[in-house]
Amino acid sequence: MMNLQWLIPLLPLLSALLVQLFAARLGKRVAHLSVALGTLTVIIAAYQLAAYISTDASPSWHSLGTMWGSLYVDPLSSIMSLVVAGISLIVHVYSIRYMTEEPGYPRFFLLLDLMTASILLMVAAGDLVTLLIAWHMIGIMLYFLLGQNTESWPSQRYAFWTFITYRLGDLPLVLAAVLLYQTYGAIDFPTLFSRIAADPNATIMGVPTAITAAFLVALSAFAKSAQFPLHTWLPYTMEGPTPVSALMHAGIVNAGGFIINRFAPVFVHSDGVLHMLFVVGLITALVGSVLMLTQNDIKKSLGYSTMGQMGFMVMECGLGAFSLAVFHLIAHGLFKGTMFL
């Protein structure tokens, strides 16, 4: 199972490399190479999930032998790997004909593969450093995908706006990682979460670590998931290609919800932060739902719909219903992805 877990994020990375190497020789046929490796990724992700369920395995952590660079196989990472790989494959297939008249055709599939690899690495990351790297790469890849049309000034402007919002959202997560490491002396999730469970009231310089880290993770999730008042970037990303919108609303925006669920062992010791999640999610759900009904542009309407659904999901996390939030995240991803396509 360990080798299969590493193959899931590595195959899209290999696909991006092959697209770059053979783009000049194959031309637009290079998209079929990307789709073939995407299909293989889905098959491996499905097999891994089936093997995990059938063997009733316990969560396992696999490292490259260094302090960072590890993957964590648990129910959350297994199911999310399959969902992300499946949605990415659908977007790849749709893009073959949709993007055929657009400039930079091979470059688009290269970026799509790199984005898929980044998301898959994020959902399977087994330590804080690997998670931060993948989290940061998602923002960079999204910037280039949204700015795919280099001749469109609105696309470039809103891509940069999104990039800045994501960079601001990265800072709290970095601070949370530093705080957790300094207090508990571990960066791998199994050790870190077990130490938090053993001593949830630990402090550093008089500051309660678990509560502060949960608050910082929540802020980072708010920026990624377009929670009020950090929602202004989301509707304007509709200037990007429709396949990018589908992948973003079905997978990338869900990263905020995923990160809250990944740090659920921290949030369960932070009642005040859970209350904040509920309030912010409630406001976001109301604002997103109302704004959705006032739009006359279908893509913007879907954008505000995503904002509202992310608000409901954050509310569920605030209630401590993390499993329900994951189900909502998956259902929304599949539904919204197909709506855009």
- Start-to-end CA span in the chain (Å): 33
Same domain, 339 and 228: yes
Q: Say if 144 falls within a structural domain.
A: no
- pLDDT of amino acid 215: 94
Percent of the chain with pLDDT strictly greater than 90 = 30
Flag whether 140 is in a domain: no
Backbone angles phi, psi at 127, to 5 degrees: -150, 170
Q: What is the pLDDT of residue 1?
A: 47
pLDDT for residue 147:
77
- Judge whether 132 lies within some domain: no
* Res 126: pLDDT: 87
Per the structure, the complete domain to which residue 279 belongs is given by 150-341
Q: Is residue 143 part of a domain?
A: no
Pairing verdict, β 203-204 and 207-208: antiparallel
Residue written as tokens 């960066």? 187
One-letter amino acid of 62: H
State the Cα–Cα distance between residues 265 and 197, nearest whole angstrom. 7
In angstroms, what CA-CA distances link 202 with 179, 198, 320? 11, 10, 22
Report the candidate in 200, 169, 24 with the shortest Cα–Cα distance to residue 107: 24
Q: Count of alpha carbons within 13 Å of 81, Cβ hemisphere only? A: 34
Taking alpha carbons only, the member of 122, 100, 126, 88 closest to residue 12 is: 88
Say if residue 159 is in the same domain as residue 109: no
Helix (H) or strand (E) holding 71: strand 70-73
Domain count across the chain: 2
Please state whether beta strands 70-73 and 203-204 pair in parallel, antiparallel, or not at all (unpaired): unpaired
Count of CB atoms within 10 A of residue 305's CB?
21
Could you tell me if 122 and 190 lie in one domain?
A: no
Q: What digits encode the pLDDT tens for the residues 230-267?
A: 777 777 776 667 788 788 777 778 888 889 999 999 99
Asked whether residue 110 falls in the same domain as residue 11, the answer is: yes
Is the pTM of the predicted complex or chain greater than 0.85? yes
Mean pLDDT of the chain: 85
The answer on 183 and 104 residing in a single domain is no
> CA-CA distances (angstroms) from residue 4 to 40, 126, 189, 304, 330?
11, 15, 20, 37, 22
Helical axes 75-98 vs 30-54, angle rounded to 10°: 160
Question: Is 139 within the bounds of a domain?
Answer: no
Parts of the chain with a pLDDT under 50:
1-2
Please list the alpha-helical segments (H only) found in 105-237: 105-124, 128-146, 153-184, 189-198, 209-224
Q: Identify any residues that bridge with 63 across adjacent strands, giving them in sequence order.
A: 70
CB contact at 8 A, 173 and 248: no
Dist. CA 80–CA 91, nearest whole Å? 16
Co-location of 163 and 88 in the same domain: no
Cβ neighbours around 193 below 10 Å, total = 19
User: Is residue 135 domain-resident?
Assistant: no
